[in-house]
Amino acid sequence: MSSSLESVISKIETTNVRPAKDNDIEDIVLMFQSFLREGLYKVGYTLNLPTFLKHLFAAVDTEDECLVVAEHDGTTVGVFLGTLEPSYTNANQLEGCEILFYVQPEYRGNGIARKLMCAFEGWCRKKGAKKVVMGAVSEMKGEKLGKLYQRAGYKPYEVSFYKDLTKEEVS
């Protein structure tokens, strides 16, 4: 077996996905800041740290959101935050909605993202969700993430666009 394949297998086997705790919040914030730098800053998103911290601490303390982290050798290398929402077309049908999904670049391609997705999907099933909706930021190799989603059984159904309303409109 090649050493690179052994490294991938080792990362998958020694990565633990577990519910986040209060002492994970600092690592989650650092990963979210990396997430912003990789793509969301480019489209105008900013971070209000007090607001974000309030949401994270609430997510740790509730059953209404799923906040899990991936650890490899004691280091937090990934995070997934999701929630449940009633479907717009049927309020009796719950859908799992991804809010934050990030794996540190040096750990991508090793199955860790899939482990995080599976943890969220399992949580959604236990809560009675019928579907899960995932997003992909185009600035962050959205096509590659889209392929991961499709391999996991997801089907594309929408392309999102944004518009910065703080800039003057061009006619």
User: Does residue 154 register a pLDDT over 70?
Assistant: yes
Query: For 83-99, how does the pLDDT look when each residue is reduced to its tens digit (9 = 90+)?
Result: 999 988 999 999 999 99
3-state secondary structure of 95: strand
- Which residues does 101 contact at the CB level (< 8 Å), separation at least 6? 79, 80, 81, 82, 113, 116, 117, 134, 135
Domain boundaries, given as residue ranges, for the chain: 3-151
Top-confidence residue, 28 or 47 = 28
Class of domain 3-151: alpha beta
**pLDDT (average), residues 30-53:** 85
Beta-sheet strands, E only, within the chain = 15-19, 65-72, 75-86, 94-103, 131-133
